[in-house]
Amino acid sequence: MNARTLNILGLGLVGIVGIAFLILTPRFAELDTVLELTVYMIMAVLSLSLALIWGYGGILCFGQSAFFGLGAYTYAIAMFNIGESTVPFLLAIALPAAFAALLGYFVFYGRISDVYLGVITLTVTLILFNSINSTAGPEFHIGAARLGGFNGIPGIPALNYPGNKAAAVDLEGMFYLSTAALLVTYFGLRLLLASRFGRIIVGIRENERRAELLGYDPRAYKLVTFTIGGALAGFAGCLFANWGNFVSPTIFGLAQSAQIIIWVIVGGRGTLIGPIIGCIGIQWLTTALGANQPSGSDWWTKLLANAPFIFGVILIAFVLLVPKGLVPTFGDFGQWLLRARTRRVAAASLEPKQAEEG
């Protein structure tokens, strides 16, 4: 089996599993499970935004939540002012994308080094956190939308079918929409990465100087990649604001920013399916840990129910033991198995010969 057939098989598998999941889940699962799975799907879209810019573009952004949060807030604010969701939906993608383009322009064209990009994006998200956090008073409003400060914005109107304000998307509809969004994002990114543009950004990640000496302008390619990442994170933010009909400044917080990076590290950079698996797995673990309140009062039962502690351990374990992340490591293991089999076959075909000689 060569790489190409494996690739096509993989794509087919993801498609079949994804569509089966999309169709079957609401039929067999309880509503609260469907609700839970919906947010996993939304966060997986967010994880893909970092998978693209970091895993393929080599741009380490510590503040991907800035664009996620901007998307959510933009949707909320626009929704209270407009009422029909088509424009708010588009704004929730366009505004974070424009913000990413502006930030990226200064960073990439200003020749600021990659490490500083991490620091700058982290700072930006913390600035957003602090600014929005301090807008609790009624004097802070944009049009009809009160920003609400640390209390957040509750009661955000749901998306409606384009152009039809009366036909709002219900909970089950949100599940379909979010799962479809994930599938479309995944396959869209696969297409992008197989295109000339996608191959060039990987080349730039591998050796920026060489790409430059071949005549590619790395600044332009990174800017476009970063902007697409911002748009995707904003899109996820819009879905998230719809999911709970609520958004608060914690969306910009350090915990949220760190989580996205952990999803990608655990799942594996340089793949798309990895960060999706990392994202869903870790969120599932968070829920499971939260549900299992410690029954005993031993220090170790308490420790095991302490989610940040567990995540810390997982992160360190991955960085030290599985630095490439789950999916690439499985890939290596699979290749090793294939090679081992080829060796065995080769050895078996040699045996009769040796027997003749002996």
Partner 1 sequence: MAEPLLQTRDLSMHFGGVKAVRNVNFTLAEGELRCLIGPNGAGKSTFFKMLTGQLQPSLGQVLFRGHDISKAHAHEIARLGIGIKTQVPSVFDGLSVRENIWLAASRIHNRHRVNAVVDEMLERIGLTSAANRLVGQLAHGQRQWVELGIVLSTDPDLILLDEPAAGMTHEEVNKTAELVREINRSKALIVVEHDMQFIRMIAKQVTVFNQGSVLVEDSVENILRNPLVRDVYLGKQAAA
Instruction: Tell me how far apart the alpha carbons of residues 41 and 176 are, in angstroms, rounded to a whole number.
Output: 10
Residue 51 vs 92, nearer CB to partner 1: 51
> Phi-psi region for residue 164, left (φ > 0), alpha (ψ -120 to 50) or beta?
beta
CB of 132 to partner 1, least distance (A): 39
The answer to whether the beta carbons of residues 178 and 280 sit under 8 Å apart is: no
Residue 146 vs 269, nearer CB to partner 1: 269
Backbone angles phi, psi at 168, to 5 degrees: -80, 150
Residue 212 vs 298, nearer CB to partner 1: 212
State the distance between the two ends of the chain, measured CA to CA, in whole angstroms.
Answer: 35
Instruction: Tell me how far apart the alpha carbons of residues 272 and 288 are, in angstroms, rounded to a whole number.
Output: 25
DSSP designation for 146: E
CB of 279 to partner 1, least distance (A): 24
CB of 123 to partner 1, least distance (A): 28
The answer to whether the beta carbons of residues 75 and 213 sit under 8 Å apart is: no
Residue 156's alpha-carbon distances to 120, 137, 354, in angstroms, are: 30, 18, 77
Cβ atoms within 10 Å, residue 100: 29
- Residue environment code for 101-134, b if the CB has 16+ CB neighbours within 10 A, otherwise e: bebbeebbeeeeeeeebbebbbebbbebbeebbe
Candidate segments 36-44, 165-173, 192-200, 281-289, binder of partner 1 by CB under 8 A: 192-200
Task: Tell whether residue 199 is a contact of partner 1 (CB under 8 A).
Answer: yes
Candidate segments 85-93, 193-201, 256-264, 345-353, binder of partner 1 by CB under 8 A: 193-201
Residue 27 vs 209, nearer CB to partner 1: 209
Residue 97 vs 211, nearer CB to partner 1: 211
Size of the residue set binding partner 1 (CB under 8 A): 18
Q: Which of 3, 321, 348, 355 binds partner 1 (CB under 8 A)?
A: 3
CB of 214 to partner 1, least distance (A): 5
Residue 18 vs 58, nearer CB to partner 1: 58
Q: Which of 6, 158, 200, 304 binds partner 1 (CB under 8 A)?
A: 200
Task: Tell whether residue 298 is a contact of partner 1 (CB under 8 A).
Answer: no
**Minimal CA–CA distance to 109: which of 222, 229, 227?**
222
User: What would the x/- binding string for partner 1 be over residues 202 to 221, using CB under 8 A?
Assistant: xx--xx-xxxxxxxxxx---
Task: Tell whether residue 105 is a contact of partner 1 (CB under 8 A).
Answer: no
Residue 167 vs 194, nearer CB to partner 1: 194
The answer to whether the beta carbons of residues 64 and 230 sit under 8 Å apart is: no
- Residue environment code for 41-51, b if the CB has 16+ CB neighbours within 10 A, otherwise e: bbbbbbbbbbb
- Residue environment code for 2-15, b if the CB has 16+ CB neighbours within 10 A, otherwise e: eeeeeeeeeeeebe
Strand, helix or coil for residue 176: helix
Residue 197 vs 330, nearer CB to partner 1: 197
Candidate segments 196-204, 249-257, 289-297, 328-336, binder of partner 1 by CB under 8 A: 196-204
Residue 184 vs 194, nearer CB to partner 1: 194
Between residue 250 and residue 289, which ones bind partner 1 under the rule CB under 8 A? none
Residues found near partner 1 in the complex (CB under 8 A):
3, 196, 199-200, 202-203, 206-207, 209-218
